Amino acid sequence: MMNKFNLWRIKIAKHYLLFIHVLHKNLFLMIGFYGLLLALLLCLFTPWLAPDSQQTYPSLRLLLPAWYEQGQLNHILGIDNHGYDIFKRLLWASKNSLFITLLITFSVMIIGSIISLCAVFIKSSSRIILITCKTITTIPPLLTMIIFAFFSGNSVQNLMFVIILSMLPRFIYNIYNMMSSELKKTYITAARLDGLSTLSIMRYSILPNTWNNYIRETIAIFTTSLIALTTLTFLNFGVESNHNELGMMMHDMIAIIAINYWGFIAPGLVILVMILLLNFFDYGLRQSLSHRE
What CATH number is associated with residue 197? 1.10.3720.10
Phi, psi of 64 (to 5 degrees): -80, 165
* 247-286 as b/e: b if 16+ CB within 10 A: bbbbbbbeebeeebebbbebbbebbeebeebbebbbbbbb
pLDDT tens digits for range 73-112: 888 999 998 889 999 999 999 999 999 999 999 999 999 8
Residue-averaged pLDDT of the chain:
83
Work out the percent of the chain whose per-residue pLDDT is above 90.
Answer: 28
Whether residue 278 contacts residue 17, with contact meaning beta carbons closer than 8 Å, is answered with: no
Read out DSSP for 239-260? Answer: --TT---HHHHHHHHGGGTTT-
pLDDT of residue 51: 84
Q: Residues near 282 by Cβ (< 8 Å), separated by ≥ 6?
A: 32, 216, 219, 220
pLDDT tens digits for range 4-57: 666 667 667 776 677 777 778 888 989 999 999 999 999 999 989 888 878 888
209, pLDDT greater than 60: yes
How far the first Cα of the chain sits from its last, in Å, is 36
Phi, psi of 56 (to 5 degrees): -110, 155
Q: Residues near 237 by Cβ (< 8 Å), separated by ≥ 6?
A: 142, 145, 146, 149, 154, 159
**CA angle, 210 as apex, 206 and 212 as ends, to 5°?**
150
pLDDT tens digits for range 185-198: 777 777 677 776 66
pLDDT of residue 128: 82
292, pLDDT greater than 60: no
Global model pTM greater than 0.75: yes
pLDDT of residue 41: 92
Query: CA-CA distances (angstroms) from residue 125 to 77, 84, 132, 143?
Result: 54, 53, 11, 28
Rounded CA-CA distance 146/159 in Å is 10
Q: How many domains is the chain built from? A: 1
By C-alpha distance, which of 93, 223, 103, 94 is closest to 159?
Answer: 103
pLDDT tens digits for range 252-263: 899 999 999 999
pLDDT of residue 240: 65
| Residue ranges making up the domain that contains 201 | 2-292
